[in-house]
Structure formats: C-alpha cells, structure tokens
Amino acid sequence: MSEFAKQMAGQSQNDEPFYLPTANEIALFEHAWKNQLPVLIKGPTGSGKTRFISYMAAQLGRPLYTVSCHDDLTSADLVGRHLIGDGSTYWVDGPLTRAVREGGICYLDEVVEARKDTTVVLHPLSDDRRILPIERTGEELEAPPEFMLVISYNPGYQNLLKGMKPSTRQRFVSMRFDYPPFEQEQQIVMQEGGVDEFNAKRLVSLGHSLRKLKEHDLEESASTRLLVYTATLIRSGFEPAEACRAAMIEPLTDDEETVEALMEVVYATYGQ
C-alpha cells in the first residue's frame, strides 16, 4: 500500500462522517430511535440519505449494517443461512440478524429494489412486536431498545412494478430528503470536495442550472454527490470543464447529443 493510501485509510478510520443538517432531520431521527420507531427516508439519488444514516449511527454510538437492495436479494441474505464447512453445517447471521442481536441500526438502501417476498421479513420488526423469527434455527429474537430499522428509496424512480405498498409505508416514520439549499450545498462541496469558496459556488450554481433542465428528459438530476466528485477532481488539478464532463455530465446520460447539450451549460460557466 502506498503512503498516500495509508494516510487516506487512517483518515477514514478516525474521522466521523460529515453531515450538514437542512431541517429537523437529526432531532426527528433521535426521537424515533428513543421511541423504538422504524424510519423511512425518501429522496433522490445523491441527496445525502446514506451519509445521514452513517452520521446518526456515529452520533448514537450504534453499529451500522447497510444493505444495498437489489432484485436478487433473498430473505436469507438478510437473516442468515447455514453453510457447510469441515464436514458439518454451521449458521451464519445475516446483517439484519446481527443488527438485532447487537442493538445496532440496520439500513436497507433502495428497499423497493428487493423482492416483495424478501421485505415481508421486515414486518414483525416494524410494528410493536419488534421480533425477528428465524425459521431455520427456531429462534425468535426480540429486538433490544437500541435496535433501529431504517429503509430508504427514491420515489422519482418508482413505477407500478416497483412501488412501495401503502401497508408497508405506514409502518414507518417518514422523512423526505432533497438537495440542500444553495449555501448549505456550497458548504458541503467545500468540506467534502476540498475546493475553495469560489469554485464551490460555481459548481453549485452549475448544479442548480442542470436541475432546471427538464427538456432533456433526464432520469436523475445532478446530485450533491456528483458535485463533490467534480470538486475532488478539480482540487487535484484536473481541468474544470473536463472534470464536470467526467463526474457530473456523463453519469447523467448515455446519449451523446444530450451530453453535448449539457456541456454547453458547463462551458457557459467554465469556458471551453
């Protein structure tokens, strides 16, 4: 491992996640945790949902188990399974079970991507029972007071096939995330991307301009995450307009004509 990699690894271990609140989300999360209520977070990609959960887990001093949900996710991936080794079988807890046993936070990101039969396992944990039945071991775990179930999804992505059932939504306290206000987003880009105030202001202005472009039919807008990635490239000495292309424009679309149209907005800010 290079010296640079060692330094970065040491920083990531010692530094708490940076998070800048935009409303009352910290207080709401704390009250939900104290009262053993599950939480649903709705918001667009790159708006800080995952960072917020990491920040809150650090503030509350609880272990965090994050699961990125997908079509092939099974209940065994969450709860656990028997494995074979040395001529015998043994049980291995999944992330949901570990979080329950340890009184941690289990965060299921983009939960609607998981199969419907998988998310059913969450129901006993998201009502007043707060239990996790493990059929394969015959256990019925009662969640300790410190345990918290958190799920998230992006409503803008959903369709009839991948929506969240109202009966599931109503099991959770909900909070809605969006991209931060201008000044707060500028602070985030400065802190996370390491650029000065001038460059951060230009990047956030560019991001806001791109978000207003409805005619290009983009699936997603330029997220705060993409602004931070762009700032990171600029900070390291990469040419600003090309940094915007690589970290902000190309991730938004595969259509070459749309890329060039969006780059016109970049050139208006940074020049060609």
Which tens digits make up the pLDDT trace of 136-190?
A: 899 999 999 999 999 999 887 654 456 677 888 899 999 999 999 999 999 999 9
User: Given this model, what pLDDT does residue 16 score?
Assistant: 82
Please check whether residue 105 is in contact with residue 141, taking contact to mean a CB–CB distance below 8 angstroms.
Answer: no
Phi and psi for 80 in degrees, rounded to 5? Answer: 135, 175
User: Given this model, what pLDDT does residue 15 score?
Assistant: 66
User: Given this model, what pLDDT does residue 213 score?
Assistant: 84
Is the pLDDT higher at 12 or at 74?
74
Kindly report, residue by residue over 12-67, the tens digit of the pLDDT.
344 689 999 999 999 999 999 999 999 999 999 899 999 999 999 999 999 999 99
Please check whether residue 240 is in contact with residue 263, taking contact to mean a CB–CB distance below 8 angstroms.
Answer: no
For the segment 189-202, the average pLDDT, to the nearest whole number, is: 96
Kindly report, residue by residue over 237-272, the tens digit of the pLDDT.
999 999 999 999 999 999 999 999 999 999 998 766
Please check whether residue 267 is in contact with residue 241, taking contact to mean a CB–CB distance below 8 angstroms.
Answer: yes
The runs of H, that is alpha helices, within 194-255 are: 197-211, 224-235, 240-244
User: How many residues in the chain?
Assistant: 272
User: Given this model, what pLDDT does residue 160 score?
Assistant: 43
Q: Mean pLDDT over all residues of the chain?
A: 89
Q: Tokens at residue 268, please?
A: 């208006």
The total of other beta-carbon atoms located within 10 Å of residue 188's CB is: 25
User: Given this model, what pLDDT does residue 215 score?
Assistant: 60
**Rounded Cα distance, 112 and 163, in Å:** 6
For the segment 81-107, the average pLDDT, to the nearest whole number, is: 94
Please check whether residue 240 is in contact with residue 270, taking contact to mean a CB–CB distance below 8 angstroms.
Answer: yes
User: Given this model, what pLDDT does residue 4 score?
Assistant: 38
Regarding beta strands 88-93 and 80-85, do their DSSP bridges make them parallel or antiparallel, or are they unpaired?
antiparallel
**Rounded Cα distance, 149 and 163, in Å:** 19
Confidence grade of residue 219 (pLDDT, cut at 50, 70, 90): confident
